[in-house]
């Protein structure tokens, strides 16, 4: 039995995200970690570079020349920290969803959302990060 998109959603509504999972609704203030989760949830099974996640929503300005390895390490560290923080916030309010995300999300230089094939989840996404548009920076 799969959990359908009608029961699972991430919707951006101004400065807040409305998250629906198995019929329960949760609203959280926007942070970068939630935006990173939206990208991963919208691309199940696909490895996404932490550098790509970090650039989501940032202006397309040419970056100064730096050591590529340093950029990858910085992105890995920042993205991992923000995703784990977002999952902790979700877990505090809705442990079942927090457990699902903890078990399904892998972070590092490459990040992936890999849900259990026995319990597939389809997510409906809406909002700037889900649509690939820019989002305001986290404060």
Q: Report DSSP state, residue 6.
A: G
Q: How many CA atoms lie within 13 A of 69 on its CB side?
A: 0
Q: Worst-scoring range by mean pLDDT, 43-47, 118-122, 133-137?
A: 133-137
The answer to whether 138 and 30 have CB atoms below 8 angstroms apart is: yes
Domain ranges of the chain: 5-58+65-126
- Return d(Cα 98, Cα 14) in angstroms, integer: 23
- In terms of pLDDT, which residue wins out, 63 or 31? 31
Q: Is pTM beyond 0.85 here?
A: no
Phi/psi-derived region of residue 44, left when phi > 0, alpha when psi is between -120 and 50, beta in every other case: beta
Give yes or no for residue 46 having a pLDDT over 60: yes
Q: Which residue has the tokens 């935006």?
A: 35
List, for residues 108-131, the tens digit of each pLDDT value: 999 999 998 888 888 999 875 555
Strands 124-126 and 8-13: parallel
Query: CA angle, corner 32, sides to 55 and 133, nearest 5?
Result: 55
The answer to whether 44 and 117 have CB atoms below 8 angstroms apart is: no
* Topology at the third CATH level for domain 5-58+65-126: Arc Repressor Mutant, subunit A (1.10.10)
Strand positions, DSSP E, 1-139? 8-13, 16-21, 24-29, 48-49, 105-106, 110-113, 124-126
List, for residues 9-25, the tens digit of each pLDDT value: 999 999 999 999 988 99
């Amino acid at each position: 039995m799969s959990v359908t998109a009608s029961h699972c959603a991430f919707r951006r509504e101004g400065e807040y995200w409305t998250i629906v999972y198995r019929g329960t609704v949760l609203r959280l203030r926007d942070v970068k970690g939630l935006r990173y989760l939206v990208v991963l949830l919208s691309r199940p099974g696909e490895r996404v570079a932490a550098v790509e996640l970090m650039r989501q929503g940032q202006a397309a300005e040419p970056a100064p020349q730096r050591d590529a390895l340093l950029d990858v390490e910085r992105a890995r560290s920042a993205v991992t920290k923000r995703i784990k923080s977002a999952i902790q916030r979700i877990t505090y309010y809705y442990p079942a969803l927090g457990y699902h995300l903890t078990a399904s999300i892998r972070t590092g230089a490459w990040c992936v959302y890999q849900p259990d094939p026995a319990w597939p989840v389809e997510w409906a996404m809406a909002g700037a990060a889900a649509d690939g548009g820019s989002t305001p920076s986290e404060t």
